[in-house]
Structure 1
Amino acid sequence: MERSTGKADQKRSICGIRSLFPKTLCILLLTVFSVFSGAQESQGQESQGRVVYFAGSGNAPLDQHLIQLLRGELAPATSLIEITDDQLATLDSGPIISVGPAAFSRVRQANRSAPILAMLVDKSFISGFAERSPGQITGVLYNVPLIRQALTGKAILPQANKIALLATADSVELYEPLIDELPAYGMSARIFLVESNDNLISTLVRALGYGDFLLAAPDSAIYNPRTIKHILLTAYRRNQIVIGPTQAYVKAGSLASSYAPFPEMVEMAGSFLSTFFETGAYPEPSYPEEFRVEVNAQVARSLNIPLPSREDIATRVDRQLAINGEASDE
């Protein structure tokens, strides 16, 4: 009511001085005023009506941290609303941010028409969905391009030129682009096939005998909470290092891993949402532009490896990628 009264007063103000203007000019001024006010109202309603839904991972501290970062990144007039699984099927508009593969799967199964922005997912997980539903499904990729992980290892061991890789029959393709990229950086790699859980350690021993370090990809069939302790201990006893697969594994005993910081991922998510609101379609899944490096200084000391600073390692990797042209495991 106050807004309507204000407009009426403005109109009366314009026409209240019509003695100073011809009648036709007054009508023209009123028309311009009405169009301008209508555009402002429409724009304001559109901005105020923007809603982004959030389907969390189930890890409360992680979800709340992401919500806090997202609310700081999104436009002030955009609402971020947490939703439960029961609410997914009833949503008929608005993009949904899902956190992790399980949350994405729940959202996708409950609402096939929902535009989804997946966070904390690997490229291998989300690519197929994005290709089948371009513009409707995208992701801020959580895994690190393997060429970057390989160069992280070389930044620590400059003399390294042979990389050992463990894979199952289902995950061999994860490494194929990397093998093609490595020669440009003076390195090569060999895949050692793990045929079953029973021969994991024996295959690992052969791999460690070949490579200057073991490069771990986000392959949950090999690198998981049940196996990682045995893998790391076996490598440690043979004075070999493991690079990757994620920041979390560095705490467990990997020597180092590159990772995408949460603020960078959230910034990209905000950019993707802005594009969606402006065009009605998401960009393709992408990696954040900035990566950092996590290191385990205790492991380095135990193996008598001089360890550059995290910043120095990241700078060396960025320099190599800039010189050779960054490839992103495509």
Structure 2
Amino acid sequence: MFILKRVASGGGIILRIPQSTSLPVSYFSACHCLRSSKRRSPYSTVDSERYSSLVKSVMSFRVSSQTPETLLVEDENMYGPVVKCQMPSTRPEMRVPKTLHPFLHCEETPEETVEPEESEESGPPTRILLNRGKDRSFLPSVTRILQQTLSPQQIFYLERWKRKMIAELGEEGFKEYSQNLFRQGKLFHSALEDVLTSGDKNLLSDTPEHPPEVQGYLQSISHVLEDVRALRAIESVVQHDSLGYRGIVDCVARYRGVLCVIDWKTSEKPKPFLSNTYDNPVQVAAYAGALNNDSNYKYQVESGLIVVAYKDGTPAHAHQLRSELMLQYWNKWLVRFEEFTKQRSSHASSASSEKR
């Protein structure tokens, strides 16, 4: 009796003959006899001549009706308004400030620059409120200067992110999203101020006193707060009189024994590296430089700390900036400040010319 067996891989049939037979061959393949029908290509029905003429009409500039203007209109219809900003070079130009203003206040005596004893740091933290009175001369803020001196690359990615969010949420939805982020940030800083000034760093109690919107953020920074002590200033205005700018520092305290300007940030995405924090190190250096040159503060700060908190309670990332790194970012801040001053002078000249 013969046994027919189908081979899965080849699609053929093998004929098995019992060993009792006298045939010298035990197996032979019949796959060549049972060939499957040739598969038909999905492109066999394409009109080759028509396709060829279509390619020629698109690729040939002589017959194509497309122009840069029509391509721009087509892109706007398909993807929305085009960001009219050229993609900058991947290697940004390394610039140095024209004038190297000192980071530390060099006129102070050595006794004043020595870090105070722990007993001298036990008093209430300094908190100088922002005076918006008309009797004071206008000084630009650190935030405003950084916003108006963004690089072309930063503007490109910021506009692209904004367009993406508007495409997903709509104009009103994006506006509400931005307002919620601002509100959560204010609530977080307010709750953090209560925690730091009260000295109660037990943020995992069964009866939380803070709004539910900030519970995750506070849990996120709980391990960082264990290393923060000797609070010197909180939500306090710092002003650089010689350069002419001001800002509001979140916190000045010791982190693992080192006196730092601390900036608390919230983020929806992880920022495990200092490079993920964009202009935040420049901002911290600007605050520290202003504090060091502000007569309201009788000490000098050479280091910084950026703490990125997460709403889901994931442990925050703490990026410490030692004195050498702070000097590098201080020079970057001086470049940005010079660029801002140049822009302001240019605008003032243009306004004066228009009045004439």
Say yes or no: TM over 0.5: no
The alignment's TM-score, normalised by the length of structure 2, stands at 0.27
The alignment's TM-score, normalised by the length of structure 1, stands at 0.28
